[in-house]
A and B are shown apart, each in its own frame.
Chain A
Amino acid sequence: MSGIDNMGSVRPDLIEKVTGRAEYVTDLTVPGMLHGFVVRSPAVHARIVSIDSSVARSMDGVVDVLIGEDVASFGNWGVVLKDRPIIATDRVRYVGEPVAVVIAGTIEIAENAAELVDVEYEDLPRATTIQEALAEEAPLIHEHHENLEDFYFRGGARPTENSNIFHTYRSCVGDVDAAEAAAAFIHEDHFTFPAISHFAMEPHAVIADFRGDSLTVWAGAQTPSAVQKVLSRLFGLRLARVRVIVPFVGGGFGGKASVKIEPLVAAASWKVQRPVRVAQSIAESMLTCRRLGADITIRTAVDAEGRIIANSAKLLLDGGAYSDTGSAVATKSANRIMGPYVVPNVRLEACAVYTNTVPGAAFRSIGGPQAVWAKESHMDNVAAAIGMDPAEFRLLNLASRGERIRPDLRALDMDMSELMGRVTQSFASEVKASDRQERGLAVAATDPANTPISNAIVRLKIDGSILVSVSSIEVGQGAHATMGRIAAQTLKQPISAVTVLRTDTSVAPYDWGTGASRSTVVVGLSVESAALDAADQILEMVADVWELPRENLLFVEGGVSTGSEVLTFHQIFHRSLGVDSGEVIGRGAITPRSKKGALAESPLFWETSAGLAEIVVDEDTGEIHVPRYASAADVGRVINRVAAEGQDEGAAIMGLGHALYEVLEFEDGQPINATPIDYSIPRISDVPPVFDTILVENGDGPGPGGAKGMGEGAILPVAPAIANALFSTYGIRITDLPMTPEKVWRALQKRN
Chain B
Amino acid sequence: MLPSPFEFERPSTITDAVRAFGDSGDGMFYSGGTELLLAMKLRVIHTDRLIDIKSILGLDRIALTDANDIEIGARCTHNKIARDPVIRQYVPALSSLCANVANIRVRSVGTIGGNLCFGEPHADPPTMLAALDARLVLQGASGTRLVHVDDFIKSELETVREPDELLTVIVFPRPTGPVTYRRFKHGERPSVNVAMVWSMDAAASTITSARVRVGALGSRPQPLKGVEDALRGLSVAEVRPAIEAVLPTALDELEVNEDRHGAADYKRHLARVLLLRNADEAIAAGWSA
* Chain A residues near B (Cβ < 8 Å): 107-108, 111-112, 115, 281, 283-284, 620-621, 623, 661, 665, 672-673, 675, 677-678, 680, 740-742, 745-746
Contacts and interface: CB of A to CB of B under 8 A. Distances in A.
Interface of B: 1-2, 4-5, 38, 42-43, 184, 186-188, 260, 262-263, 266, 269-270, 273
A740 B186 contact: yes
Contact of B2 (A111, A283, A621, A680): A111
Contacts, number: 42
A672 B260 contact: yes
Given A661-B186, A677-B38, A745-B269, A281 B43 contact: no
Given A665-B260, A673-B260, A621 B1 contact: no
B4 A112 contact: yes
A621 B188 contact: no
Given A115-B43, A741-B186, 5 more contacts: A111-B2, A283-B1, A620-B273, A623-B184, A745-B266
A621 B191 CA distance: 11
Contacts of B263: 742
A349 B270 CA distance: 42
A678 B188 contact: yes
Among B1, B38, B263, residue most surrounded by chain A Cβ atoms (within 10 Å): B1
A628 B273 CA distance: 26
Contacts of B38: 677
Among A673, A740, A741, residue most surrounded by chain B Cβ atoms (within 10 Å): A741
A672 B263 CA distance: 16
A649 B186 CA distance: 22
B188 A680 contact: yes
Contact of A746 (B2, B4, B266): B266
Query: Would you call the interface of chain B mostly helix, strand, loop, or mixed?
Result: loop
A108 B5 contact: yes
A24 B102 CA distance: 29
A188 B273 CA distance: 37
Given A621-B273, A745-B266, A661 B187 contact: yes
Nearest to B1: A281
A675 B42 contact: yes
Given A678-B260, A745-B266, A745-B269, A112 B5 contact: yes
A620 B182 CA distance: 14
Contacts of A672: 260
A77 to B, nearest CB: 27
Contacts of B266: 742, 745-746
Nearest to A106: B2
13 contacts: A111-B2, A281-B1, A283-B42, A621-B270, A621-B273, A623-B184, A672-B260, A675-B42, A677-B38, A680-B188, A741-B184, A741-B186, A745-B269
B249 to A, nearest CB: 20
A197 B132 CA distance: 41
A623 B43 contact: no
Contacts of A675: 42
Contacts of B186: 623, 661, 680, 740-741
B1 A678 contact: no
B208 to A, nearest CB: 30
Which 3 interchain pairs have the tightest Cβ spacing? Answer: A281-B1, A680-B187, A620-B273
Nearest to A676: B188
Nearest to A665: B260
A665 B5 CA distance: 32
A618 to B, nearest CB: 9
Contacts of A281: 1
A112 B43 CA distance: 10
Contact of B188 (A283, A677, A742, A746): A677
B142 to A, nearest CB: 35
A115 B46 CA distance: 12
Nearest to A667: B260
A416 B141 CA distance: 75
Contacts of B1: 111, 281, 283-284
Among B2, B42, B43, B262, residue most surrounded by chain A Cβ atoms (within 10 Å): B2
A673 to B, nearest CB: 7
